[in-house]
Amino acid sequence: MILRHYYKSIICFFVIIFLSLIPAQKSSDLIFAFPHIDKPVHFLMYFVLFIIVMKDLKRNNKETKRFIIFTILIIILFLSIIIEFIQEFFIPGRFGSFIDVLANLSGLIIAVFFYFKTTIFSKKHLIL
């Protein structure tokens, strides 16, 4: 079963969904009293998610095309926008935020840059 090969990515994504959809009364207990601490948290969550997805993809496919990387970036960004809409309209005490989407996008873009610029990922597996 293909999901077995991507269990780390799936777990990471569901952790993000869980943390994003906790009602406000419970989520405020999880976050310290620092103002705007959620922005670096958004950045970090989506940075880590992209890196984990790419590592799973590399381990299972051995070849990663730029189109696939771009597609994964767009899918994760689209899912983060959906989560913000769900927060705005369906979660009591939570609000969707354009700034949160920008923090998510920033994490994704830096993760893409990290993916291409670090030696953790071998260049020979990247098909241009």
Can you give the pLDDT at residue 68?
A: 84
Can you give the pLDDT at residue 4?
A: 81
Can you give the pLDDT at residue 123?
A: 53
Angle at Cα 70 formed by Cα 66 and Cα 76, nearest 5°? 145
Note whether 66 and 93 are within 8 A (CB).
Answer: no
Q: What pairs with residue 127 in β-bridges? A: 65
Can you give the pLDDT at residue 117?
A: 82
Can you give the pLDDT at residue 128?
A: 41
How many alpha carbons lie under 13 Å from residue 107 in its C-beta half-sphere? 24
Helices marked H in 6-65: 7-20, 24-30, 38-61
What contacts 6, CB < 8 A, 6 or more positions away? Answer: 53, 56, 57, 60
Query: pLDDT per position in the chain (128 positions), as tens?
Result: 577 888 999 999 999 999 888 886 654 555 555 666 788 999 999 999 999 998 888 887 766 678 888 999 999 999 999 999 999 899 888 888 899 999 999 999 999 998 888 755 555 555 44
Note whether 64 and 54 are within 8 A (CB).
Answer: yes
How many secondary structure helices (H) and strands (E) does the chain include?
5, 2
pTM above 0.85, yes or no: no
